[in-house]
């Protein structure tokens, strides 16, 4: 079956789907995106992803490319046309294509919208969650607006590649003061030595992860009170548990950080419980 990709109003075969060579997403990283988990053909936490997309557009003064309902329709079509049951949908909006110039183009230039969907077996993250993953830390060399979900992901690519070379699945970025900001493509959490659940507070240093927000709902329901504050690597090395959150991993236990064993080296009970509960609390929208 040919994969189908949505580009600016058209549903095209994968091999024919393309954007202009002067697209600002390509030349300047002048674009934002969302990744939404799909389970059983249904979207997980769609309203929160769409709200964040709108916020990212507003922060960068990229015009809303179409009404939210139309965008939602596109995502559903792409999922349907690709017959994705379990997987993800990727939606990217750039400021559009115009002769290369740092200044924003005029209002006649319309944003570029690309949407694609990809099947992904749930068995792979499930198997990883049984063992837990390793983390490698590295300096956070990203810009100072990490709260916007832009496609400027080169630091994340470099970090992930370095992590992989070290046998780790994710990188944790560390700011100039020695505090963990977040993962290359996830938010970072620990259960500290004293049992407190800790994750960094929102701000321009981290992405406001949708999974992070939904997990806060789970915690509230569980009667658990997380502390939102920065934590250092030493605290993470000595933690009882650690885990990451993201749309494609949900809650993924961490068992090693920079070669240090976390807890007893097995996924912690809190991370496992939260992982199992997560989808009971996420919003699930039909297609
Ligand atoms: N932080 C960064 C830098 C990310 O790239 C991501 C997801 O890609 C996250 C956090 C987690 O966000 P979400 O839970 O919305 O997937």
Q: What is the pLDDT of residues 221-250, one digit of tens each?
A: 999 999 999 999 999 999 999 999 999 999
Those residues whose C-beta lies under 8 Å from the C-beta of residue 31, and which sit 6 or more positions away, are 23, 24, 25, 62, 92, 93, 94, 95, 112, 150, 151
pTM to 2 decimal places: 0.97
Structure tokens at 189: 């959490």
What is the reported pLDDT for 70? 97
Distance (angstroms) between ligand 1 centre and the Cα of 17 equals: 26
pLDDT surpasses 80 at 260: yes
Say what the pLDDT of residue 286 is.
83
Per DSSP bridges, beta strands 284-285 and 42-44 are antiparallel
Residue 280's pLDDT band, with cuts at 50, 70 and 90, is: very high
CA of 252 to the centre of ligand 1 (A): 13
* Ligand 1 binding pocket, CB closer than 6 Å: 35, 182, 185-187, 207, 209-212, 245-247
Q: What is the mean pLDDT of residues 178-198?
A: 98
- Compute how many other C-beta atoms are within 10 angstroms of the C-beta atom of residue 209: 24
Cβ neighbour number for residue 221 with a 10 Å cutoff: 11
Atom 5, ligand 1: residue with shortest CA distance: 185
CB-CB contact of 149 with 269 (8 Å): no
Share of the chain above pLDDT 90, in %: 99
Task: Supply the pLDDT for residue 65.
Answer: 98
| CA of 216 relative to ligand 1 center, distance in Å | 15
Q: What is the dihedral of CA 143, 145, 147, 151, to 10 degrees?
A: -60
Q: What is the torsion angle, in degrees rounded to the nearest 10, for the CA atoms of residue 212, residue 52, residue 220 and residue 194? A: 30
Q: Is residue 284 predicted with pLDDT exceeding 80?
A: yes
Mean pLDDT of the chain: 97
């Amino acid at each position: 079956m040919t994969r189908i990709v949505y580009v600016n109003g058209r549903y095209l075969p994968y091999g024919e789907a393309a954007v202009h060579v002067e697209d600002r997403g390509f030349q300047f990283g002048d674009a934002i995106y969302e990744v939404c988990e799909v389970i059983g053909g249904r979207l997980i936490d769609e309203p929160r992803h769409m709200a964040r997309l709108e916020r990212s557009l507003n922060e960068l003064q990229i015009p809303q490319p179409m009404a939210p309902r139309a965008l939602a329709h596109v995502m559903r079509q792409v999922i349907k046309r690709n017959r994705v049951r379990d997987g993800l949908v990727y939606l990217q909006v750039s400021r559009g294509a115009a002769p290369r110039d740092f200044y924003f183009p005029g209002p006649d230039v319309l944003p570029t919208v690309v949407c694609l969907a990809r099947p992904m077996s749930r068995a792979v993250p499930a198997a990883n969650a049984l063992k837990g993953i390793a983390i490698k830390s590295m300096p956070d060399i990203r810009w100072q607006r990490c709260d916007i979900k832009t496609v400027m992901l080169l630091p994340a690519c470099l970090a992930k590649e370095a992590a992989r070379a070290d046998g780790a699945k994710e990188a944790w970025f560390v700011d100039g003061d020695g505090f963990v900001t977040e993962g290359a493509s996830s938010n970072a959490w620990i259960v500290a030595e004293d049992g407190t659940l800790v994750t960094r507070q929102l701000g321009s240093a981290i992405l406001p992860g949708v999974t992070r927000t939904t997990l806060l709902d789970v915690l509230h329901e569980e009667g658990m009170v997380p502390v939102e504050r920065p934590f250092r690597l030493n605290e993470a090395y000595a933690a009882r548990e650690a885990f990451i959150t993201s749309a494609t991993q949900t809650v993924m236990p961490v068992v090693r950080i920079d070669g240090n064993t976390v807890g007893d080296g097995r996924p912690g009970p809190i991370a496992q419980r939260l992982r199992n509960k997560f989808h009971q609390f996420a919003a699930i929208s039909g297609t």
